[in-house]
Amino acid sequence: MTDRPARRLRAGRQAGWTAGAGERAEDGGGPGAADLVLLLSRVGRGDEEAFSAVYEQVAGTVFGLVQRVLRDPAQAEEVAQEVMLDVWRTAARFEPGRGSPQAWVATIAHRRAVDRVRSAQAATRRDDQAALPAESHDGVAEAVEAKLDRERVRRCLGSLTELQRESIVLAYYGGYTYREVADLLGIALGTTKTRMRDGLIRLRDCLGVS
């Protein structure tokens, strides 16, 4: 990573992630989805100015999404910085045909936040298990079960239509409301609710949830 993006991330953290950064497109505070697609394409080619523009557009939102999961501002700042680093490093992998840039960034943010929670939980379990006899727990079985659950959810999400998957990812991974999802995707509120209802029914059936 070159110096300028690194300085941009440090400056953002020092100034506070919520201090005016990340105005959403629907609020008129920055470029829309089409502009973000172009910016991410430039970031994927190593354009530092484009990265600064993407940062200004999404950093505040990233922090908000991460904080909803972690409930700890200090940890949320660290994870938000990791998310923006991921955006810089992996922008070339973004495929506009598979979803909006907002959904892509929200998915990265959710994954990073959940990974931090799981890491903390694993550390707590290790501490607890260290004080117990070896035969009193089975951490291997627990880890296998958790992995299988994650793979099932990933597989079932893949069975949805692109529109259903994008709406659900924004709402449940990104923490957006129905109205916010509708505004981000540029569709009617009723259409958003229908997509999510149908998608959730398919998810329920795929996962075998009654």
Domains 1-137 and 139-210 share a fold: no
CB atoms within 10 A of CB 171: 21
What is the distance between the alpha carbons of residues 17 and 10, in angstroms, rounded to a whole number? 10
Domain locations in the chain as residue ranges: 1-137, 139-210
- Classified as helix, coil or strand, 21 is coil
Please tell me the distance from the alpha carbon of residue 82 to that of residue 59, in angstroms, as a whole number: 11
Look up the CATH number of domain 139-210.
1.10.10.10
CA distance 99 to 109: 15
Instruction: Please list the pLDDT of the chain residue by residue as tens digits (210 residues).
Output: 555 565 556 555 544 554 434 344 333 344 566 799 999 999 999 999 999 999 999 999 999 999 988 888 888 999 999 999 999 999 999 998 888 898 899 989 988 888 888 777 666 555 555 554 444 445 544 554 555 566 777 788 888 888 788 888 888 777 778 888 887 777 888 988 898 888 888 888 887 765
pLDDT at 205: 85
Instruction: Judge contact between 203 and 160, C-beta under 8 A.
Output: yes
pTM for this model (two decimals):
0.57
Top-tier CATH class for 1-137: mainly alpha
